[in-house]
Chain A
Amino acid sequence: SQKIEQNSEALNIQEGKTATLTCNYTNYSPAYLQWYRQDPGRGPVFLLLIRENEKEKRKERLKVTFDTTLKQSLFHITASQPADSATYLCALSPYYGNNRLAFGKGNQVVVIP
């Protein structure tokens, strides 16, 4: 069956360090992999998209890698700040179909000042 797995345990990290989150998937062949940020009581907000033929993407302090052989994406927040504390969700989408995304359950990050 198809699965998207993110760590269910919160990641507690010291301010200034790099936070790294993992997204593993099974039985998908995604054209795109995306990361979203969600704050408590709010809707997810799109952060970054990486295509299957891209290895790495950066946006400010964020970096995403995509390894289609390992079926894994890593999401890095460098120089983390308390304002980065949130839940981060990965999502996959195919090339064709009805534009449905498949979401992971999310991984919480807590940045400690």
Chain B
Amino acid sequence: DVKVTQSSRYLVKRTGEKVFLECVQDMDHENMFWYRQDPGLGLRLIYFSYDVKMKEKGDIPEGYSVSREKKERFSLILESASTNQTSMYLCAVGVNYGYTFGSGTRLTVV
């Protein structure tokens, strides 16, 4: 089974900072996904990638970008953090018959 590691469990950043969230998998899966999860809104897809240097926008890409330079690593970038980006961020790896999620990063922007 694939292991998905998110670099930080908790993160506090200031408004306007550039924030990097890292996700690493220990296998060779092509598909990687970034979600944010907020109470009452469920999981919302920000971006996903189906190969190195390939990315597609999800449902809420505004204010975010991503980078996938190596197959095992998928980074989510908040170009200029804002308080409305305070959320739980979840990385997932998988195919349409099952995802493996990381433990999540609880980001607070102050």
Once the chains bind, are B97 and A49 in contact (CB under 8 Å)?
A: yes
- Which residues of B (82-109) have their CB < 8 Å from a CB of A? 88, 90, 92, 94-104, 106
By the criterion CB–CB under 8 Å, are B98 and A46 in contact? yes
Known: A94-B96, A105-B41. A99 touches B31 (CB 8 A): yes
Residue of B nearest to A8 (CB): B40
| Contact-residue bracket for chain A | 20 to 34
Can you list 27 A-B contacts (CB < 8 A)? A8-B40, A31-B96, A32-B97, A34-B98, A36-B99, A41-B104, A42-B103, A43-B4, A43-B103, A44-B43, A44-B90, A44-B101, A45-B101, A49-B98, A93-B96, A93-B97, A95-B96, A98-B31, A98-B48, A99-B50, A100-B45, A100-B48, A100-B96, A101-B96, A103-B42, A103-B43, A106-B42
- The reply to whether B90 and A99 contact each other, CB–CB distance below 8 Å, is no
Task: Give A71 to B64 CA distance when docked, in angstroms.
Answer: 34
Q: Is B17 an interface residue (CB 8 A)?
A: no
B residues less than 8 Å from A94 (CB atoms): 96
Interface string of A19-61 (1 = CB under 8 A from B): 0000000000001101010000111111001000000000000
CB-based nearest A residue for B43: A103
B side interface size, CB within 8 A:
27
Are A99 and B101 touching (Cβ within 8 A)? no
Residues of B within 8 A of A42 (CB): 103-104
| Whole-angstrom CA separation of A43 from B2 in the bound complex | 14
Answer whether residue B56 sits at the interface, using C-beta atoms and an 8 A cutoff.
yes
State how many angstroms separate the Cβ of A42 from the closest Cβ of chain B: 6
CB proximity of B22 to chain A, nearest CB, Å: 15
B1-39 residues with Cβ-Cβ distance < 8 A to A are 4, 31, 33
Closest to A104 in B: B42
**Cβ contacts under 8 Å, A95 to chain B:** 96
